[in-house]
């Protein structure tokens, strides 16, 4: 923190009553449409600004705003940016708790306040006539602004634009813009979103020339009549002018509707027409998308067709710059979404940078634009004193609604306005909805917090269980009469915290089976881990916060650096817009076009044929350009294996036939595998006899400790610690959320002692044809146990292990995993396998796991969850080979198994709080061959693991064959 050196006694305590005033502010211009392209001059004021941080709102008077103020003791920050990410103070993470006493509208005296100063000259060609406005696109949470020493006003509403008229104050040279930003204000009570508290001028600051007859505000109405195929354009403008769309031959007055044949805009076919609004002396470029949004027969329709949302919730986040995002990052987010078959985004929980919506128009995404409003912390007091139910706050709420709608109303991608998130219920919300409906009856309204749907056009929920989604889909959920007639969406589901989310495919089936269920939005797009030297990525508590919610802020489908997590690969597969199904032996494949609008002409299809995972033939597949919703049985070629033995299958893929704005030709969109013939039954591994001698028992290629029965060597390879394993480092979803009714398995497992199982040796029996080791595996202090018998056989070359597990006692919880674990020398670092891949999979996250031959280094098998936890299993592995100094060790499963290998143990993984705590062993690679795994679910916020994916304790037997 830097304190000023020039505090003079002449300074007076400034009046900062506006900070706690519930009003939205004073002095700003009325909100209007935001647009990027106009021929009016503009000057970006982004860049380095002089900066002084004070501990309280009233530490300094306004003298700093006057030109000539001595800032020699000041620091500098980058605008857009947050000062807490630039070495001044620290971020705070809370989910819903206010990090200050709840006493609305008061805020603490300790109120970090950043004075920002920026001097600028007008460019030489700045027009001499006309006016100018100064625009702030986002400042958290309250700012007071001066230009050349003159106060312009003050405002709240962090993620909304504010403009001030500044024309008469501007000078050609030596302008001084002063902005005082307070971290806490009455506005903070309305901005209790689950995210980091990050004060600062975090979006652009721009000076805009306003020519004498400028476009001012305008509203583009562009509807589409799906019956006639025509579009109607009407641009209402505050200042009259002309609207031209050359491609459509349109040249009309503002306010006058024109109807012409057009191609409609949809998220799948984002057809935009370039137009110009010319009013007086300004020309604004328009990008017009014709589309009509309506509630029809109880469904959300666009251009007459119901849509299915395959959505995500997107917070604005960058690991270094917080909510200050550059254009490249915004585009990257959207390209990644499109490449992963995502078609919708909810701008949780505030309007995004406006340029993001331009990109949504261009690339094609359905957008729920959400207002900057959340009062979640009031839930702690049963919603008493909730600002949304207190008329004194209503002007602030209406101001926020208007700033969102006016700014974003010209985007075809925005089809739904959302009043906000988690704000309870109240008259203020009703008033917002009423105003929005009056201003823009051509879009629908969303809000999740009112189960009676008084203000909304859809019934929306978060984290409803599969069973409840099914009930809602069938219309059996009851509710108010109004609600019963409404479509349903899950505005949040599938909490993507850590490993997971599980159960996505099961949700998707329910969305596709019931028309009322119009899809959902996964929570959430990206982990909000802050880049940090000590922790790699920091989360709540890492900055010493008094109140915090730990790594609940890392719950995205992307890691903080925007690398896709396995959850995103899974989501892509589950929501793929083309289904490729069938029984491979039948000679055909069924192709279902699951798009709502597009036909399949933009895709190319291929087939390939695998024998034991290896592709032996491939070629193009001709698929008719099916219209949306249509399907066809397509003939496959004759199987190319001509009766060769082995496991065989078809893999059919749909890829982009040509480059698009978001991916190149050949980009994979959908795939399916059709099994043809199962693999051969493994031959018996028997005949050899165990031989005792010199403290060892040898059996075929292996040697064992004669006393303990432990495997010591397998051919030339040393093996350590091979034994039954039931523990996994609990995932965030295992640990569960306290508000969920399901048992929280992580804590229960620990209480039971599954992380400290003891292995009692009962017998080592060297028989005629097998070495049998009898044990009982159980935790101290409990009477439950697993009788475990290891039976080793060999044919002289290969070694086979059969593990038989018999539970004893009453097991009330599922197991984390059931399998064996052992250590190999560290050189065993390369893996080849035939099974599911290339990525991680668990019982309820395995849709994206493709059967084939894969290779990877052990280090690359790890999934870097920001808080370390169980990860990295590969599903359905028939065999795996680990290569090291002594050659390859092959492991075949009977049946197929889950394969995991890592350079630390599950216990070390469990003990780590951050990735930087994981230190690879220089001696051992730990290998887990699991017969079964507990599913993942999404109980870190939502429902737990569905019954079908639970690893219930029951007798089990499984075998592995080793060859070294
Ligand atoms: C829900 C919130 O809307 C969202 O912002 C986020 O906090 C999410 O949960 C969890 O990460 S509210 C929750 C109490 C259901």
326: domain CATH number is 3.20.20.80
Task: For residues 273 and 167, state if they share a domain.
Answer: no
Tens-place pLDDT, residues 703-761: 999 999 999 999 999 999 999 999 999 999 999 999 988 899 999 999 999 999 999 99
Task: For residues 250 and 355, state if they share a domain.
Answer: no
Whether 508 maps to a domain, the answer reads yes
Task: For residues 669 and 731, state if they share a domain.
Answer: no
Whether 12 maps to a domain, the answer reads no
Domain total of the chain? 5
Angle between helical axes of 427-439 and 394-408 (0-180°, round to 10): 30
Task: For residues 695 and 663, state if they share a domain.
Answer: no
- For residues 9 and 457, give the distance between their C-alpha atoms in angstroms, rounded to a whole number: 59
Instruction: Compute, in degrees rounded to 10, the torsion defined by CA atoms 284, 289, 290, 291.
Output: -130
Query: What tokens were used for 756?
Result: 């400290």
Count of other CB atoms within 10 angstroms of residue 168: 9
Residue closest to 572 by CA, chosen among 676, 496, 657: 496
Nearest-Å Rg of the Cα atoms of the chain is 32
Nearest ligand 1 atom, CA 941 = 10
Whether 683 maps to a domain, the answer reads no
Predicted confidence at residue 1, as pLDDT, reads 36
For residue 450, CA distances in Å to 37, 453, 454, 478, 959 come to 39, 5, 7, 14, 54
Whether the Cβ atoms of residue 689 and residue 771 lie closer than 8 Å to each other: no
Tens-place pLDDT, residues 490-523: 999 999 999 999 999 999 999 999 999 999 999 9
Tens-place pLDDT, residues 88-115: 999 999 999 999 999 999 999 999 999 9
Mean pLDDT of 447-461: 98
Residue closest to 406 by CA, chosen among 208, 159, 161, 138: 161
Beta strands in 183-255 (DSSP E): 195-197, 200-201, 205-210, 218-225, 230-237, 242-245, 250-253
User: What is the CB < 6 Å shell around ligand 1?
Assistant: 95, 194, 349, 421-422, 462-463, 492, 495, 523, 552, 555, 941
Nearest ligand 1 atom, CA 524 = 11
| Residue nearest ligand 1's atom 4 by CA | 194
Spell 805-826 as b/e; 16+ CB within 10 A means b: bebeeebebbbbbbbbbbbbbb
Q: Which of the listed residues 418, 523, 866 should we mutate to test ligand 1's pocket, taking the one with most ligand atoms within 8 A of CB?
A: 523
Stated as kind and residue range, the H or E segment containing 917 is none
Whether 549 maps to a domain, the answer reads yes
Structural domain boundaries, residue 148: 17-210
Domain end marker among 227, 262, 294: 294
Q: What is the CATH number of the domain that holds 44?
A: 2.60.120.260
Whether 9 maps to a domain, the answer reads no
Q: Per residue, what are the HEC states of 578-632? A: EEEECCHHHCEEEEEECCCCCCHHHEEEEEEEEECCEEEEEEEECCCCCCCCCEE
Domain end marker among 647, 677, 707: 677
Predicted confidence at residue 642, as pLDDT, reads 64
Nearest ligand 1 atom, CA 942 = 15
Task: For residues 535 and 647, state if they share a domain.
Answer: no
Predicted confidence at residue 911, as pLDDT, reads 98
**Is the pLDDT reported for residue 641 higher than 80?**
no
Residue closest to 224 by CA, chosen among 307, 302, 290, 269: 290
Q: What is the DSSP string of 270-316?
A: B--EEEEEEETTEEEEEEE----EEEETTEEEETTEE--EEEEE---
| Residue nearest ligand 1's atom 12 by CA | 422
**Which has more pLDDT, 604 or 215?**
604
Give start and end residues of each alpha helix (H) in 409-440. 427-439
Residues above pLDDT 70, as percent of the chain: 99
Largest interatomic CA distance in the chain: 104
* Distance from the first to the final alpha carbon of the chain: 62
Q: Give 663-670 contacts, CB < 8 A, sequence gap 24+.
A: 663/335, 663/338, 663/339, 667/339, 669/341, 669/576, 669/577, 669/578, 669/603, 670/341, 670/576, 670/577, 670/578, 670/579, 670/580
Whether the Cβ atoms of residue 430 and residue 390 lie closer than 8 Å to each other: no
Q: Is 12 exposed, middle or buried (0-12, 13-18, 19+ CB in 10 A)?
A: exposed
Whether 619 maps to a domain, the answer reads yes
Query: What tokens were used for 814?
Result: 């599922």
Query: What tokens were used for 185?
Result: 């204000």
pTM score? 0.97
- For residues 379 and 934, give the distance between their C-alpha atoms in angstroms, rounded to a whole number: 34
Whether the Cβ atoms of residue 559 and residue 871 lie closer than 8 Å to each other: no
Whether 846 maps to a domain, the answer reads yes
Q: How far is CA 921 from the centre of its chain?
A: 32
Whether the Cβ atoms of residue 42 and residue 206 lie closer than 8 Å to each other: yes
Task: For residues 805 and 946, state if they share a domain.
Answer: yes
Looking at every residue in the chain, the average pLDDT score rounds to 96
Query: What tokens were used for 154?
Result: 């003050």
Tokens 């005033």 -> residue: 21
Whether the Cβ atoms of residue 808 and residue 785 lie closer than 8 Å to each other: yes
Please give the distance, rounded to the nearest whole angstrom, from the Cα atom of residue 547 to the centre of ligand 1: 17
Pairing of strands 414-418, 444-446: parallel
- For residues 864 and 140, give the distance between their C-alpha atoms in angstroms, rounded to a whole number: 32
Please give the distance, rounded to the nearest whole angstrom, from the Cα atom of residue 435 to the centre of ligand 1: 27
Task: For residues 559 and 580, state if they share a domain.
Answer: no
Q: How far is CA 723 from the centre of its chain?
A: 38
**Is the pLDDT reported for residue 3 higher than 80?**
no
| Residue nearest ligand 1's atom 14 by CA | 941
Whether 682 maps to a domain, the answer reads no
Whether the Cβ atoms of residue 344 and residue 267 lie closer than 8 Å to each other: yes
Nearest ligand 1 atom, CA 349 = 5
Please give the distance, rounded to the nearest whole angstrom, from the Cα atom of residue 497 to the centre of ligand 1: 11
**Is the pLDDT reported for residue 9 higher than 50?**
no
Query: What tokens were used for 164?
Result: 């001030």
Please give the distance, rounded to the nearest whole angstrom, from the Cα atom of residue 429 to the centre of ligand 1: 19
Tokens 């024998």 -> residue: 611
Q: What is the CATH number of the domain that holds 740?
A: 2.70.98.10
**Is the pLDDT reported for residue 683 higher than 70?**
yes
Predicted confidence at residue 280, as pLDDT, reads 83
Beta strands in 431-577 (DSSP E): 444-446, 459-462, 488-493, 517-522, 530-532, 536-538
Task: For residues 536 and 669, state if they share a domain.
Answer: no
Whether the Cβ atoms of residue 725 and residue 817 lie closer than 8 Å to each other: yes
Query: What tokens were used for 602?
Result: 């933009």
Task: For residues 77 and 174, state if they share a domain.
Answer: yes
**Is the pLDDT reported for residue 7 higher than 90?**
no
- Residues 660, 666, 667, 670: is their CA dihedral positive or negative? positive
Mean pLDDT of 690-713: 97
Count of other CB atoms within 10 angstroms of residue 598: 18
Predicted confidence at residue 11, as pLDDT, reads 58
Per this entry, what is the length of the chain? 964
- For residues 312 and 340, give the distance between their C-alpha atoms in angstroms, rounded to a whole number: 11
Domain end marker among 573, 592, 616: 573
- For residues 624 and 631, give the distance between their C-alpha atoms in angstroms, rounded to a whole number: 9
Task: For residues 631 and 647, state if they share a domain.
Answer: yes
For residue 630, CA distances in Å to 195, 308, 358, 516, 601 come to 42, 16, 32, 20, 13
Please give the distance, rounded to the nearest whole angstrom, from the Cα atom of residue 194 to the centre of ligand 1: 7
Catalytic sites, residue numbers = 422, 492
Tens-place pLDDT, residues 161-194: 999 999 999 999 999 999 999 999 999 999 999 9
- Residues 506, 507, 512, 517: is their CA dihedral positive or negative? positive
| Residue nearest ligand 1's atom 7 by CA | 194
Task: For residues 762 and 884, state if they share a domain.
Answer: yes
**Is the pLDDT reported for residue 591 higher than 50?**
yes
Residue closest to 460 by CA, chosen among 471, 449, 468: 449
Residues whose CB falls within 8 Å of the CB of residue 449, separated by 6 or more in sequence, listed in order: 420, 421, 422, 423, 424, 425, 429
| Residue nearest ligand 1's atom 5 by CA | 194
- For residues 868 and 883, give the distance between their C-alpha atoms in angstroms, rounded to a whole number: 26
Whether the Cβ atoms of residue 293 and residue 369 lie closer than 8 Å to each other: no
- For residues 343 and 266, give the distance between their C-alpha atoms in angstroms, rounded to a whole number: 10
User: In 3-state terms, what secondary structure has residue 262?
Assistant: coil
Q: Per residue, what are the HEC states of 795-820? A: CCCCEEEEEEEEEECCCCCCCCEEEE
Query: What tokens were used for 8?
Result: 């003079």
Tens-place pLDDT, residues 852-869: 999 999 999 999 999 999
Predicted confidence at residue 643, as pLDDT, reads 72
Task: For residues 719 and 643, state if they share a domain.
Answer: no
- Residues 233, 237, 240, 241: is their CA dihedral positive or negative? negative
DSSP state of 848: T
Tens-place pLDDT, residues 312-369: 999 999 999 999 999 999 999 999 999 999 999 999 999 999 999 999 999 999 999 9
Q: Is 427 exposed, middle or buried (0-12, 13-18, 19+ CB in 10 A)?
A: middle
Nearest ligand 1 atom, CA 96 = 7
Tens-place pLDDT, residues 424-451: 999 999 999 999 999 999 999 999 999 9
Tens-place pLDDT, residues 782-793: 999 999 999 999
Please give the distance, rounded to the nearest whole angstrom, from the Cα atom of residue 376 to the centre of ligand 1: 9
Q: Which of the listed residues 462, 490, 496 should we mutate to test ligand 1's pocket, taking the one with most ligand atoms within 8 A of CB?
A: 462
Q: What is the CATH number of the domain that holds 231?
A: 2.60.40.10
């Amino acid at each position: 923190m830097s304190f000023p050196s020039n505090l003079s006694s002449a300074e007076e305590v400034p009046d900062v009553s506006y900070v706690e005033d519930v009003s939205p502010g004073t002095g700003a211009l009325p909100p209007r449409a935001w647009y990027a392209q106009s021929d009016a001059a503009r000057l970006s004021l982004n860049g380095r600004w002089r900066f002084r941080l004070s501990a309280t709102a009233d530490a300094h008077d306004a003298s700093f705003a006057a030109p000539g103020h001595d800032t020699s003791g000041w620091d500098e920050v980058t605008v857009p940016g947050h000062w807490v990410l630039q070495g001044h103070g620290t971020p705070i993470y809370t989910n819903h708790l206010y990090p200050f006493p709840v006493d609305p509208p008061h805020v603490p005296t300790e109120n970090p306040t950043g004075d920002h100063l920026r001097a600028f000259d007008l460019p030489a060609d700045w027009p001499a006539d006309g006016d100018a406005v100064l625009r702030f696109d986002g400042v958290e949470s309250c700012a007071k602004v001066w230009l050349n020493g003159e106060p312009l006003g003050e405002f709240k509403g962090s993620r909304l634009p504010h403009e001030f008229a500044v024309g008469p104050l501007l000078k050609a040279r030596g302008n001084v813009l002063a902005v005082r930003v307070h971290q806490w204000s009455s506005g903070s009570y309305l901005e209790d979103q689950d995210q980091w508290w990050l004060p600062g001028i975090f979006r652009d600051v721009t000076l805009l020339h306003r020519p004498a007859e400028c476009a001012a505000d305008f509203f583009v109405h562009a509807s589409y009549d799906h019956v006639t195929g025509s579009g109607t354009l009407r641009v209402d403008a505050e200042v009259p002018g002309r609207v031209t769309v050359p491609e459509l031959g349109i040249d009309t007055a503002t306010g006058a509707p024109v109807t012409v044949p057009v191609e409609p805009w949809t998220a799948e076919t984002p057809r935009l027409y370039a137009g110009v609004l010319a009013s007086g002396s300004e020309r604004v470029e328009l990008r017009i998308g014709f589309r009509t949004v309506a509630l029809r027969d109880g469904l959300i329709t666009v251009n007459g067709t119901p849509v299915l949302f395959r959505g995500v919730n997107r917070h604005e986040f960058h690991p270094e710059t917080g909510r200050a995002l550059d254009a490249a990052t915004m585009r990257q987010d959207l390209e990644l979404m499109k490449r992963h078959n995502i078609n919708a985004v909810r701008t949780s929980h505030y309007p995004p940078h406006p340029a993001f919506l331009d990109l949504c128009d261009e690339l094609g995404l359905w957008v729920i634009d959400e207002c900057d409003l959340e009062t979640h912390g009031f839930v702690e007091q049963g919603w008493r004193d909730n600002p949304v139910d207190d008329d004194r706050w209503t002007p602030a709420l209406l101001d926020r609604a208007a700033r969102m709608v006016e700014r974003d109303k010209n985007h075809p991608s925005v089809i739904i306005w959302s009043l906000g998130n988690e704000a309870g219920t109240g008259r203020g919300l009703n008033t917002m909805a009423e105003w929005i409906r009056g201003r823009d009856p051509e879009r629908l309204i969303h809000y999740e917090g009112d189960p009676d749907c008084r203000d909304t056009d859809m019934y929306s929920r978060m984290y409803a269980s599969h069973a409840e989604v099914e009930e809602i889909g069938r219309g059996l959920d009851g509710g108010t009469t109004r609600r019963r007639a409404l479509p349903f969406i899950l505005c949040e589901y599938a909490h993507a915290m850590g490993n997971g989310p599980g159960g996505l495919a099961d949700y998707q089936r329910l969305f596709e089976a019931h028309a009322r269920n119009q899809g959902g939005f996964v929570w959430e797009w990206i982990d909000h881990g802050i880049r940090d030297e000590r922790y790699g990525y920091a989360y709540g508590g890492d900055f010493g916060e008094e109140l915090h919610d730990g790594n609940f802020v890392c719950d995205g489908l992307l890691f903080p650096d925007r690398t896709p997590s396995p959850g995103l690969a899974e989501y892509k597969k589950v929501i793929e817009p083309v289904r490729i199904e069938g029984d491979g032996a039948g000679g055909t494949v069924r192709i279902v076009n699951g798009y709502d609008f597009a036909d399949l002409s933009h895709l190319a299809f291929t087939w390939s044929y695998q024998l034991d995972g290896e592709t032996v033939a491939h070629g193009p597949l001709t698929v008719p350009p099916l219209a949306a919703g249509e399907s066809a049985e397509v003939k496959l070629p004759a199987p190319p294996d001509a009766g060769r033995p082995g496991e065989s299958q078809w893999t059919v893929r749909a890829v982009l036939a040509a480059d698009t704005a978001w991916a190149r030709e050949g980009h994979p969109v959908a795939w399916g595998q059709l099994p043809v013939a199962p693999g051969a039954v493994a031959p018996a591994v028997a005949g050899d006899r165990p031989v005792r001698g010199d403290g060892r028992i040898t059996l075929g290629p292996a040697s064992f400790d004669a006393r303990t029965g432990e495997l010591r060597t397998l051919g030339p390879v040393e093996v350590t610690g091979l034994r039954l394993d039931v523990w996994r480092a609990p995932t965030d979803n295992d640990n569960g959320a306290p508000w969920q009714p399901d048992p929280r398995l992580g804590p229960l497992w620990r209480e039971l002692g599954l992380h400290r199982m003891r292995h009692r040796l009962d017998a080592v029996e060297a028989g005629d044809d097998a070495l049998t080791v009898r044990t009982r595996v159980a935790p101290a202090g409990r009477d439950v146990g697993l009788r475990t018998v290891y039976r080793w056989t060999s044919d002289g070359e290969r070694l086979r292990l059969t593990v038989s597990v018999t539970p004893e006692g009453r097991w009330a919880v599922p197991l984390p995993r059931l399998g064996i674990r052992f250590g190999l020398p560290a050189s065993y670092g390369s893996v080849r396998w035939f099974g599911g891949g290339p990525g991680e999979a668990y019982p309820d996250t395995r849709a994206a796991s493709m059967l084939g031959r894969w290779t990877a280094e052990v280090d690359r098998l790890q999934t870097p969850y920001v808080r370390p936890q169980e990860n990295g299993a590969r599903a359905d592995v028939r065999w795996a080979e680990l290569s090291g100094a002594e050659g390859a060790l092959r492991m075949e499963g009977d049946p197929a198994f889950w394969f995991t290998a890592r350079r630390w143990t599950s216990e070390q993984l469990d003990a780590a709080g951050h990735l930087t705590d994981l230190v690879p062993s220089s001696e051992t690679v730990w290998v887990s061959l699991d017969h079964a795994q507990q599913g993942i679910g999404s109980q870190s916020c939502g429902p737990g693991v569905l019954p079908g994916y639970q690893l219930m304790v029951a007798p089990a037997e499984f075998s592995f064959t080793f060859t070294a």
